Amino acid sequence: MRKLTFYLTCVLMLFLTACSSTEKSQIDSSKDAKAQGKNNVQTILVGTGTQFPNICFLDDKGNLTGYDVELVRAIDEKLPEYNFEFKTMEFSNLLLSLETGKIDLIAHQMEVNSEREEKFLFNKEPYNVFPLQVTVNAKNNDIQSIADLTGKNVSVSPTSNSAVFIEKYNKEHNLGANIVYSSGSVDVNNQLATGRLDAIITTPFAVKYYNESNEAQQKVVGDALLNSKVYFLLNKDEVPLQERIDEAIRELKTEGVISELSKKWLGDDYTVDF
C-alpha cells in the first residue's frame, strides 16, 4: 500500500512539473512574440514646423498640434507597423532634411510642383486643398488683385509653393513685384501692418487665425491664385509607406475624421473639392 501511494505521488509530481513547464513555455513564447512585434515596428521621423498657424504650431502650453500634426497622429493609429515621431524645424530646412535622410516624411501642407516631383515621392491620396490668395492689410484698398503688385514688396517663405508661384508669375507676366523672403510669420505680420510689406501670398485660414488671435487686421483680395491639392512628401524609395499612408487616409476620409479635422483647425471643410 505504501509503495502504491509513493508511486502515485511520483506520477502526480511529474504531471504537475510538466504542466508548469508547458505553461512557462507558453508565457515565454507569448513574451517573445510581443517583443518581436515591438521590434518590427518601424519609426518614421516626420518633419514639420512650428510657425504655420492651425497647421503645425505650438499651442499656448507649448504642445505641437494643428491640422497636419493631428492627421499624422490619426494615421499613426491606423498603422501599427509604424511609429510616427515628429521632428520640428524651419520650413526652409524640410526638403534638405528629407533629401539627406534626417527625416522620412514631410507634413507641412506640401503641394505638388515639378521641382519636388523630380526629387521626391508624394503620396497619391490628397488630404485637403490649399487655396493661395494675395493678402494685404485691411486698410489697403490699392491692391485688389495680383495685377496690382507691380513694384510692391511681396513676402513669401523660401521654397514654399507660394514662392514658386510668385517667382514664376513674376517672370512670365513681367509683373515687376519685389519678392521678399521671410521665415518668421510674426515679423511678416508686423511688416504688413506697418507698411514695410505691401502683400503676402497665403491662405484664408491663416489670415483668419492671425486676425482672431493677434488682431492682425488682414484681408484676402482677388481670386484664388492656386487651389492645389495637398499631400505628404517622402523619398522615392518609400513606396510601401506611401501605399499604407494612402490606405489610412482613405479610411479616415470614409470615417469623416479628415473632414472634422479640417473644420476644427481650418475653419471649413477643405476636403470637399476632391
**pLDDT (tens digit per residue) in 177-186:** 999 998 667 7
The Cα 126–Cα 111 span in angstroms is 9
Q: Where do the domains of the chain lie?
A: 42-128+230-266, 130-226
Range of weakest confidence among 18-22, 197-201, 202-206: 18-22
> In this model, does residue 21 exceed pLDDT 80?
no
Predicted local confidence at residue 273, as pLDDT? 60
Predicted local confidence at residue 210, as pLDDT? 87
Q: What percent of the chain has pLDDT over 70?
A: 84
The Cα 176–Cα 180 span in angstroms is 13
What pLDDT band is residue 260 in, cutting at 50, 70 and 90?
very high
Predicted local confidence at residue 11, as pLDDT? 43
Taken in order 234, 239, 245, 246, the sign of the CA dihedral is positive
The Cα 168–Cα 175 span in angstroms is 10
- Edge-to-edge strand order for the sheet containing 64-65? 51-52, 56-58, 64-65
Q: Which residues partner with 199 through β-bridges? A: 154
Predicted local confidence at residue 38, as pLDDT? 55
Q: Which fold has domain 130-226?
A: D-Maltodextrin-Binding Protein; domain 2 (3.40.190)
Mean pLDDT of 157-172: 92
Fold agreement between 42-128+230-266 and 130-226: yes
Q: CA Rg, the chain, in Å?
A: 27
Q: What's the pTM?
A: 0.72
> In this model, does residue 118 exceed pLDDT 80?
yes
Mean pLDDT of 218-234: 94
- CATH code linked to domain 42-128+230-266: 3.40.190.10
According to DSSP, residue 204 is labeled H
What pLDDT band is residue 12 in, cutting at 50, 70 and 90?
very low
b/e map 189-207, b = 16+ CB within 10 Å: bebbbeeebbbbbbbbbbb
Name the E strands within the chain: 42-48, 51-52, 56-58, 64-65, 82-88, 105-111, 120-122, 128-137, 153-156, 178-181, 199-202, 218-235
